[in-house]
């Protein structure tokens, strides 16, 4: 349930409560309509407002619909997502983050942070190299079957038959003026991979995610960007429950 759907339900209950409270009091009823409204509807309204505040500003649940984060996250897992943490600091390398991607979709995506602003990134021989050092990734399902480099103010991907530069009309790759160096992840941009590298629609396809502002290029150019929050707990099913 989204915050807007919850707020709509609270509004309907509040309207029902107001209607019952304003009904003319029938002789001998001693205001029972108002008492009933307060007794049965007020707790739902208060609980609904409290839940809306929590899922809007603090935490919310997230359902895993696909296998892009296998084996870390299984299909149908339900997570708790911390929406408060990133108000105080940037996402860290390795965080599992829920965010709106730079491609049209009705749902947020969930991926792992691999490259942050200022980082150098390349994928070669199935290994990710972050700032020149091999990245230890015990969580991946299998090594990526592609190579990737952030260079020349762009993202280049190879599937073994030459390099292809991600097209800014199809991917979020900021213009040269937004970069601080030709081979470093630009400000406010993040390279995001799924743990199931060869079955994940992620940054090697649609470019950078962003922590703020508007997407620079791609099919959602000028749409608001940001991070919904960090996934920190699998709480359903109980057999899969763990802190991430």
Mean pLDDT of 49-63: 60
Residue ending a domain, choose from 13, 38, 59 = 59
166 and 136 in a common domain? yes
Q: Which residues contact 42 (CB under 8 A, 6 or more apart)?
A: 17
110 pLDDT more than 70: yes
pLDDT at 39: 64
169 and 83 in a common domain? yes
User: With 0-12 CB in 10 A as exposed, 13-18 as middle and 19+ as buried, what is 97?
Assistant: buried
What integer best gives the mean pLDDT of the chain?
Answer: 84
Which tokens hold the place of 72?
Answer: 């870390």
Pick from 89, 88, 133, 140: nearest CA to 115: 133
Please write the tens of the pLDDT for every residue from 167-180.
Answer: 999 999 999 999 99
6 pLDDT more than 70: no
| Domain containing residue 33 | 3-59
141 and 69 in a common domain? yes
Q: What is the pTM of this model?
A: 0.78
Measure the CA–CA gap between 83 and 75, rounded to whole angstroms: 22
166 and 50 in a common domain? no
Mean pLDDT of 27-43: 56
Mean pLDDT of 205-214: 96
- Predicted confidence band at 50 (pLDDT cuts at 50, 70, 90)? very low
229: left (phi over 0), alpha (psi -120 to 50) or beta: left
- Which is catalytic among the residues 68, 147, 200, 203? 68
220 and 171 in a common domain? yes
Instruction: Say if strands 78-82 and 154-158 run parallel, antiparallel, or are unpaired.
Output: unpaired
Q: At what angle do helices 32-53 and 3-22 cross, to 10 degrees?
A: 170
DSSP 4-37: HHHHHHHHHHHHHHHHHHHSPPPTT-TTHHHHHH
Query: Is residue 92 annotated as part of the catalytic site, yes or no?
Result: no
Please write the tens of the pLDDT for every residue from 127-146.
Answer: 999 999 999 999 999 999 99
Three-class SS of residue 161? coil
88 and 24 in a common domain? no
Residue ending a domain, choose from 40, 59, 78 = 59
79 and 33 in a common domain? no
Instruction: Between 7 and 89, name the one with better pLDDT.
Output: 89
- Which is catalytic among the residues 29, 66, 92, 111? 111
Which tokens hold the place of 1?
Answer: 């349930």
pLDDT at 25: 46
Q: Which residue has the tokens 């965080």?
A: 95
Stretch (H or E) spanning 134: strand 133-134
208 pLDDT more than 90: yes
195 pLDDT more than 90: yes
43 and 136 in a common domain? no
* CATH at residue 111: 2.10.109.10
Q: Are 170 and 44 in contact (CB under 8 A)?
A: no
- Predicted confidence band at 60 (pLDDT cuts at 50, 70, 90)? confident
87 and 196 in a common domain? yes
206 and 164 in a common domain? yes
118 and 43 in a common domain? no
- Counted domains in the chain: 2
97 pLDDT more than 60: yes
119 and 46 in a common domain? no
Mean pLDDT of 186-213: 97
Residue ending a domain, choose from 59, 74, 89 = 59
């Amino acid at each position: 349930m989204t915050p807007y759907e919850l707020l709509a339900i609270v509004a309907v209950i509040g309207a029902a409560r107001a209607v019952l409270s304003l009904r003319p009091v029938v002789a001998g009823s001693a205001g029972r309509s108002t008492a009933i409204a307060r007794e049965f509807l007020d707790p739902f309204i208060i609980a609904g407002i409290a839940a809306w505040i929590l899922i809007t500003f603090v935490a919310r649940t997230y359902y895993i619909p696909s296998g892009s984060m296998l084996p870390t996250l299984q299909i149908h897992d339900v997570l708790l997502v911390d929406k408060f943490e990133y108000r105080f600091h940037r996402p860290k390398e390795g965080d599992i983050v829920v965010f709106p991607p730079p491609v049209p979709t009705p749902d947020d995506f969930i991926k792992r942070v691999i490259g942050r602003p200022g980082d150098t990134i390349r994928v070669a021989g199935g290994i990710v190299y972050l700032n020149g050092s091999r990245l230890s990734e015990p969580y991946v399902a299998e090594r990526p079957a592609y190579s990737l480099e952030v260079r020349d103010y762009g993202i280049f991907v190879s599937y073994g038959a030459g390099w292809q530069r991600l097209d800014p009309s199809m991917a979020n790759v900021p213009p040269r003026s937004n970069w601080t160096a030709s081979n470093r992840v630009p400000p406010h941009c993040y390279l995001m991979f799924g743990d199931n590298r060869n079955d994940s629609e992620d940054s090697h396809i649609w470019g950078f995610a962003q922590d703020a502002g508007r997407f620079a290029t791609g099919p959602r150019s000028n749409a608001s960007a940001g991070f919904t929050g960090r996934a920190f707990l699998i709480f359903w099913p109980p057999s899969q429950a763990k802190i991430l």
